Each structure stands twice: as structure tokens, then as C-alpha cells.
Amino acid sequence: MSAYEAVILDVDGTLVRGERVLPGAVDGLRAIDDTGCQRLLFSNNPTRGGDHYAERLGKHDISVDPEFVLTSASVSVGYLSATHPDDSIYLVGEDRLRELLEAASLEVTDDPASAGVVLGSIDRALTYDQLSASLGALEVADAFYGTDPDVTIPTENGFQPGSGAIIAAMEAIAGWKVDAILGKPSSIAAATALQRLETAPERTLIVGDRPDTDIELGARAGMDTALVTTGVTSSEQAATGELSVEPDYVLESLAELEAVLTGNDRDK
């Protein structure tokens, strides 16, 4: 039994790094299942949907229900479908995100002058000319959103620039701060996750490796939070007490999650 009804898990840096399953990840997932908690994976990856993670983790014999996977891409698609169903979206982002938007019957335009909404995201092929064109779109659009604030992303070869770096450049050239970030740690992301789980925030634990997204989302929403030091935050950084948001628990890996779920580690 557990004091929690559900656990929200980050993916990259928490469960996996690249195509490698992190130590303790399988033990942590088993603990969630053994205590009867629901689990929902939530990645700030702005280029993939739930099916990708079911397939990716399935290769490692980790069973994942695509309906219980959220990404900043899927949250962005859902939010724009609900709030801007008829607006033309000017996307600074990658083709896979465009495909997800178009699959939801949203119009994506390549004409900056016809932009009703601008959506900023990671684009590993972004050029100076494309960034310049986005300025034209921002001059006429009514709304400006970002998929996620991750300035860097972890890879098997180290860290690389993420969506947050590109969104910051767009904000700087337009003098316009995004109206909202749609992925973690936004209230939009938290509400989407809790609605999918049908749980109250005080009965939900969020686990991730980023204080500024995973832990921030939980703190804002009233969830308990656990920081793992297998991703962007090291054990040394966590020990300083100077993180942007302090978690309720610090775990060396997901192998320590069972103690939190069963109440054997309640010293917050």
C-alpha cells in the first residue's frame, strides 16, 4: 500500500539516457506497480507522442500504455486544438511536431504574414533566415507559445541546446515573452496530467531530474516531489540546498523509490 495513488515520471534522465535504461529504473517501476499506484510518463520532448515511448521502452521489456504518456508535444497539440482550432500556426520546430499538429487537424503555415499563433520549439536545423522569418510571424500573430523551457537536453554524448534556447532567441528578437509554456512546469501541463490520472495533487508524486521543470511543476500544483540525481542534477548539486526549487525527496536513482511509496522515507 502507498500514501499515493499515482506517480508521474519524467523519462530522459530519470528512466533512460539516450537508448540506455538507467540503473534502478526497472526497480522503481516495479515498486510503483507493486504498491498499486498508477503511473504516467511525462517527457518534455516536443517532437514525440505517446506511441514513441511505448515502442522505445518496450524494446527494454518495459510495458507502457501510450494513453498514460504525455509529452510537451502532445500537451501543446491538445492546448492549441482547444484554444486556437481555427488559427494558422507558424511553427519554429521540427517536422515531427508539425506532423503531430497536422494530424490533429491544425493548420500549420509557412507564411509568416498569415500567422495567427507562433509556436516555438527545438529545431536542430534552424537557420538564421528561418529565425528572421519568425520575427515577421511574431509581428502579426495574436499569440506566442513555447512547447517547453528546456535550455539543454541530455544525450548519450552530453548536453545539447533545447527548445528553451530557441524560444529565448525568439523572445529577444521580438521583445515578446511567450504567453505560455505549454509543457512542464506549466499549470497547463499539470492539469493535463492530473486529468489523465483522475487523481488529486496531494495524492500524486512527481519524480524527475530537473528542479526547474519536474520539481517546479509538482511544487506549483501541490504534489509531493522527488528529485533523482541520474540526469541533469548531480548528487553534489542536490546536497547544496541551493536548487531553484527544493524537492521533498532526493533519490540517487529510482531504486530508492519504494521507500518513499511505502512510507519508509517520510523525512522530507
As a whole number, the mean pLDDT across the chain is 94
**Would you say how long the chain is, in residues?**
268
Closest CA to 190 of 229, 225, 222: 222
pLDDT at 195: 97
Q: How much is the pLDDT for 157?
A: 77
Q: What is the pTM of this model?
A: 0.92
CATH superfamily of 83-181: HAD superfamily/HAD-like (3.40.50.1000)
Q: What is the pLDDT of residue 240?
A: 87
pLDDT of residue 36: 95
The pair phi, psi for residue 78, each rounded to 5°, is -65, -40
| Residue 254 confidence (pLDDT) | 97
Grid coordinates representing 209? 531530474
> Taking 70 as the threshold, does the pLDDT of residue 267 lie above it?
no
Q: Which residue has the higher pLDDT, 188 or 152?
A: 188
pLDDT (tens digit per residue) in 168-210: 999 999 999 999 999 999 999 999 999 999 999 999 999 999 9
Q: Place 232 in a pLDDT band, splitting at 50, 70 and 90.
A: confident
pLDDT at 116: 98
Other Cβ atoms less than 10 A from the Cβ of 114: the count is 14
Reported as a pLDDT band with limits 50, 70 and 90, residue 241 is confident
Per-domain residue ranges for the chain? 6-44+184-261, 83-181
Tell me yes or no: is domain 6-44+184-261 CATH 3.40.50.10140: no
pLDDT tens-place string over residues 94-148: 999 999 999 999 999 999 999 999 999 999 999 999 999 999 999 999 999 999 9
Q: Are 188 and 75 in contact (CB under 8 A)?
A: yes
Task: Give the residue with greater pLDDT, 173 vs 18.
Answer: 173
Given the C-alpha cell 528572421, which residue does it identify?
A: 132
Say how far apart CA 215 and CA 248 lie, in whole Å: 9
Predicted confidence band of residue 265 (pLDDT cuts 50, 70, 90): low
Identify residue 217 by its one-letter amino acid code.
Answer: L
